[in-house]
Every structure is written in structure tokens, then in C-alpha cells.
């Protein structure tokens, strides 16, 4: 190669190198596509260039044209089925990765699309206005992302080896640049969609670091989570999850964090307490998913947080109503029998004694008949309070219904039960004043002891009930 040609070749390669840098430096996909066609016209030596972008459905759309306004008006927005390229490539000459379709091979001598209005050059290597040259644009993995078509070489001759090589090299770099821009655009769209969903979610959401150096730190929180916790975004982002977790629930957080960082668990779900900025507890349901990189290394965790304080309070209230006597607030029959069964199990294991004391208010019907049921209810509340006061620490007082009460007594010897029975009677017997009327109530108490009188809750309740009736009959006589 002569010296002047070598200098010119080096200059052109430097221009091409700079062009590739500009194409890769574009910030958006449309800008990248336009830079590709502008570069072909400016550096590679063609008067017209067009890029058809390959959509997800496989079709091609011409999205960028450079060099001729009429070509831009006719070609921009035109769509082409992949089969049309297959048909053209079937009759094309292969110039490396390029595909050249001479006008003489076109069916009927006529192609599709824009045809430049120029004179036909003469000579065997002349460029005909109906000639077509394509450069497939592929990603670094070989995926076809678009098609570059060029027209009208500046010297109106079919490209020689040097110009073809330039076009091939540029097309290879352009395909990678387009793919990178496409991926960035997809990420930006995904990020935008995620941000909208994250910020607008009705439930609390957070993104938490799983970095071993800073585990559990809030990276991102949404307004709903701030509302649940009564905290600002900047305040939460200065904290870790454990900082806002109730002390009694922190052990689960620490174990979950260790499992997530170690890659041992991908999803966590727990009901726990967070600490509101006011210091109050907030019951929440937290579902956390671990996000990993391509090497399955945990990066961060995204949590959905639902405030379940009201639901939990309602559930607890329903449980309370189902397990307690509405009038007195004492445990009801169902709860008492369960508590006796548990006490029997423990006493059997320990070899200790327990007693069930069945307490029935004597002649209580007379109170309802003389003072009315409202006054009778007040009297029952007082009896419940007095029985609870007379019972010892650890004993359980319950109401079975009507004027029937029971006491589960834990004691070490028979005389303990006897002394408790006497205290219960004495305490209830103190005068009660209701609406100006003075009532003197008494209770008949029957006792059944485990294991002598029974080894189940039902048996002990039946035996104590029978013993109470014997006591009541003795009083009536």
C-alpha cells in the first residue's frame, strides 16, 4: 500500500474508532440508532443509511434514516416481516457478514422500498439505484437486534474490500451498542414500573440490604411503610430492621438475616411487632423475598408489610369472648375444662394433687324473683370478684353459667383444700348491698380431688358437682 493510502487508511480507522465511541456513549436507544446511521453516512462512505429495529415479535421497523430527506419520509416507520429478508438473502451475494443483492437478481428487476433518483452509473462495478446492501446487527451473544441497510456509495461504485471491512467492523460494534442501549432502556422501564408500584402500593414495602458489611439496613421504603411506623423516609434509611423490631421478636430477624445472607432461604413470612415512632407496638405481617445476582449471591431483600394490629385485636377479642364469661369476665366452661386437663397432665407428671371445687350460690332464684335479674347479675359479679379474691395465686376461678362457679385449686395436702373451701365460703358470705337492699348470700361447695376422684377434667367436674349437691341437701334439711 502506498504511503499516502496508508495514512488515509489510518485516518479513516481513527474516525471509525471515534464513531464507535460516540455510538456507545449515547444515553437512549433512539439516540443510539440515529448515531449508527449518521455515522455510516459521515465515516463509512455511503450517502444513505437506515436501521430497522427488531421488535420482540420478530418484525423489523425502520426507526432511523440518514442522508436523504425523501428516504427518511418514505422509510421511517415501515415494518418488514423477517421472511422478506430471508427472501432477499436467498438471492444475495455473501460479502463476509454483509449481504449484497444486485439489482439483476431481483424478481422482475424491481425491489421494495425507497429507490434513489440518480443516474445509472456505467461499468461492471457501478452501483445501480436498485442494488441493496445489508449488514445484520447482532448482540454480543449473536442475537439479531436489527438490520442496517446502506445505499449510494459516495463514489457510486460497489464497495471494495476496505469499505466492506469498515462496514462489517462498524456493524459488529453497532449491534452490541444497540443491544446495550436496549437493555438499559428495558431496565429503565422496569425500574420506572417498579418505582410506581413500590411508591404507590397500599401496603408497606421496603428494600433491605443483605450485604455482610451492612445487613438489614433499609435501602428503600415507601410512604405506606412510613405511615405504618410514623417515621420519615430519611429516618428509616438510617436504621436497620432490627432497630424498629420489638425486642422480643428480634431473634427471628437475626436468624432470618443469617439464613438469607447464607442463601439458605429465599422467602420468609412472619407476624411480628414493629416499634412505632411513638413507642407503641404495631403488629405487622411481613413477607420477604430474597433477590440474588446471576451467581445466586443474595443482594437484597424486598418486604411487603401489612399492618394487622386491628385484625389481631379483633381476633384476640373474639378469642376472649369465646373463652370467657361475658357477665363476669371469668373463664367459661370450655376454657376451664381445658385448664383442668392441662393441670391434670402436669400434676400426673409431678405426682401432686389438684382439686376442682364446684360452687353453687344457695337460693339464688329468690334474689332474681325479689329484686329482678339486673340485680341478680350485679350479685353474681360480686360473687365472682369475691371468689377470685379468696382464691390463692395460681388457682383458677371460672363461671359455668347461672349461679354456678368452679375453682381449680393446686395444693400439696388435703388440709390445703379444706382451708380454701372455708375461705371461699367466708368471703362470699359477707353482706352485699345492691340498690339499697342488703343480701346475705352463701355458697355450697363440693370438692373432687385428682387422682382419688378422677383422672380427667370431665370426671373431676362431675364428681365435684355431685359432692356440691350432697352439701346443698344437707343445708336444706
Task: Give the three-class secondary structure for 153.
Answer: strand
The CATH number of the domain holding residue 128 is 3.30.450.40
**Any domain includes 317:** no
Task: Check if the beta carbon of residue 134 is closer than 8 Å to that of residue 151.
Answer: no
Q: What is the pLDDT of residue 107?
A: 67
Task: Check if the beta carbon of residue 365 is closer than 8 Å to that of residue 417.
Answer: no
Q: Which of 312, 332, 367 is the last residue of a domain?
A: 312
What angle, rounded to 10 degrees, do the helices at 333-350 and 309-323 form? 80
58: left (phi over 0), alpha (psi -120 to 50) or beta: left
Q: Does 259 share its domain with 304?
A: yes
**Any domain includes 195:** no
Q: How far is CA 419 from CA 219, 247, 345, 423, in A?
A: 64, 43, 24, 6
Task: Check if the beta carbon of residue 41 is closer than 8 Å to that of residue 50.
Answer: no
Q: Does 178 share its domain with 256?
A: no
The CATH number of the domain holding residue 300 is 3.30.450.20
At 70-89, the pLDDT tens digits run 999 999 999 999 998 998 89
Q: Does 394 share its domain with 455?
A: yes
What number is the average pLDDT over the span 347-360?
A: 93
**Any domain includes 319:** no
Q: What is the pLDDT of residue 116?
A: 83
Cross-strand pairs, 446: 358
At 121-158, the pLDDT tens digits run 788 889 998 899 999 999 988 999 999 999 999 999 99
Task: Give the three-class secondary structure for 73.
Answer: helix
Q: Does 336 share its domain with 386?
A: yes
Residue 467: domain span:
324-476
**Any domain includes 337:** yes
Q: Does 372 share its domain with 431?
A: yes
Q: Does 206 share its domain with 141?
A: no
Task: Check if the beta carbon of residue 80 is closer than 8 Å to that of residue 63.
Answer: no
**Any domain includes 394:** yes
The CATH number of the domain holding residue 455 is 3.30.70.270
Strands in 83-138 per DSSP E: 93-95, 98-101, 132-138
At 227-247, the pLDDT tens digits run 999 999 999 999 999 999 999
Question: Any idea what DSSP says for residue 397?
Answer: E
Domains held by the chain: number: 3
At 448-460, the pLDDT tens digits run 999 999 999 999 9
Q: What is the pLDDT of residue 59?
A: 94
Rounded to the nearest 10°, the torsion over CA 410, 412, 418, 420 is: -40
Task: Evaluate if residue 7 carries a pLDDT over 60.
Answer: no
**Any domain includes 19:** yes
Q: How far is CA 386 from CA 397, 429, 432, in A?
A: 10, 9, 11
Q: Does 306 share its domain with 329?
A: no
Q: Does 299 share its domain with 386?
A: no
3-state helix, strand, coil in the chain (%, to 5): 45, 25, 25
Q: What is the pLDDT of residue 3?
A: 42
Q: Does 282 share its domain with 390?
A: no
**Any domain includes 129:** yes
Q: What is the pTM of this model?
A: 0.53
Closest CA to 336 of 272, 266, 395: 395
Q: Does 95 share its domain with 30?
A: yes
Task: Give the three-class secondary structure for 53.
Answer: strand
Amino acid at each position: 500500500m502506498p504511503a499516502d493510502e496508508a495514512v488515509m487508511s489510518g485516518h479513516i480507522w481513527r474516525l471509525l474508532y471515534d464513531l464507535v465511541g460516540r455510538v456507545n456513549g449515547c444515553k437512549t436507544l433512539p439516540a443510539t440508532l440515529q448515531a449508527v446511521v449518521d455515522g455510516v453516512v459521515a465515516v463509512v462512505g455511503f450517502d444513505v443509511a437506515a436501521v430497522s429495529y427488531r421488535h420482540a415479535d420478530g418484525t423489523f421497523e425502520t426507526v432511523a434514516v440518514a442522508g436523504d430527506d425523501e428516504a427518511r419520509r418514505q422509510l421511517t416507520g415501515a415494518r418488514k416481516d423477517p421472511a422478506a429478508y430471508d427472501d432477499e438473502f436467498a438471492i444475495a451475494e455473501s460479502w463476509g457478514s454483509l449481504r449484497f443483492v444486485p439489482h439483476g437478481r431481483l424478481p422482475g428487476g424491481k425491489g421494495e422500498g425507497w429507490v434513489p433518483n440518480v443516474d445509472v452509473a456505467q461499468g461492471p462495478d457501478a452501483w445501480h439505484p436498485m442494488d441493496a446492501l445489508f449488514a445484520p446487527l447482532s448482540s454480543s451473544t449473536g442475537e439479531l437486534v436489527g438490520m442496517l441497510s446502506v445505499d449510494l456509495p459516495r463514489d457510486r461504485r460497489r464497495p471494495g474490500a476496505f469499505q466492506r471491512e469498515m462496514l462489517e467492523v462498524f456493524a459488529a460494534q453497532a449491534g452490541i451498542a444497540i443491544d446495550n442501549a436496549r437493555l438499559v432502556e428495558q431496565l429503565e422501564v422496569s425500574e420506572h414500573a417498579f418505582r410506581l408500584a413500590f411508591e404507590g402500593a397500599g401496603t408497606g414495602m421496603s428494600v433491605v440490604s443483605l450485604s455482610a458489611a451492612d445487613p438489614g439496613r433499609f435501602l428503600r421504603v415507601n410512604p405506606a411503610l412510613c405511615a405504618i411506623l410514623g417515621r420519615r423516609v430519611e429516618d428509616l434509611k438510617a436504621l436497620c430492621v432490627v432497630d424498629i423490631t420489638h425486642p422480643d421478636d428480634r431473634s427471628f430477624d437475626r436468624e432470618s438475616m443469617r439464613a438469607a445472607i447464607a442463601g439458605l432461604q429465599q422467602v420468609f413470612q412472619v407476624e411480628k411487632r414493629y416499634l412505632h415512632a411513638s413507642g407503641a407496638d404495631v403488629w405487622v405481617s411481613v413477607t420477604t423475598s430474597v433477590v440474588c445476582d446471576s451467581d445466586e449471591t443474595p443482594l437484597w431483600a424486598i418486604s411487603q408489610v401489612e399492618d394487622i394490629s386491628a385484625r389481631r385485636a379483633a381476633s384476640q377479642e373474639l378469642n376472649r369472648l369465646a373463652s370467657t364469661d361475658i357477665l363476669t369476665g371469668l373463664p367459661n366452661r370450655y376454657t376451664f375444662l381445658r385448664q383442668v386437663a392441662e393441670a391434670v397432665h402436669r400434676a400426673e407428671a409431678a405426682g401432686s394433687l389438684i382439686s376442682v371445687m364446684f360452687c353453687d350460690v344457695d337460693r339464688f332464684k329468690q334474689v332474681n324473683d325479689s329484686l329482678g335479674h339486673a340485680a341478680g347479675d350485679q350479685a353474681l359479679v360480686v360473687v365472682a370478684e369475691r371468689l377470685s379474691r379468696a382464691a390463692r395465686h395460681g388457682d383458677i376461678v371460672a363461671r359455668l353459667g347461672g349461679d354456678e362457679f368452679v375453682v381449680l385449686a393446686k395444693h400439696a395436702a388435703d388440709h390445703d383444700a379444706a382451708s380454701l373451701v372455708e375461705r371461699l365460703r367466708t368471703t362470699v358470705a359477707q353482706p352485699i348491698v345492691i340498690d339499697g337492699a342488703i343480701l346475705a348470700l352463701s355458697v355450697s361447695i363440693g370438692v373432687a380431688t385428682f387422682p382419688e376422684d378422677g383422672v380427667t377434667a370431665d370426671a373431676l367436674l362431675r364428681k365435684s358437682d355431685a359432692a356440691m349437691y350432697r352439701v346443698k341437701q344437707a343445708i336444706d334439711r
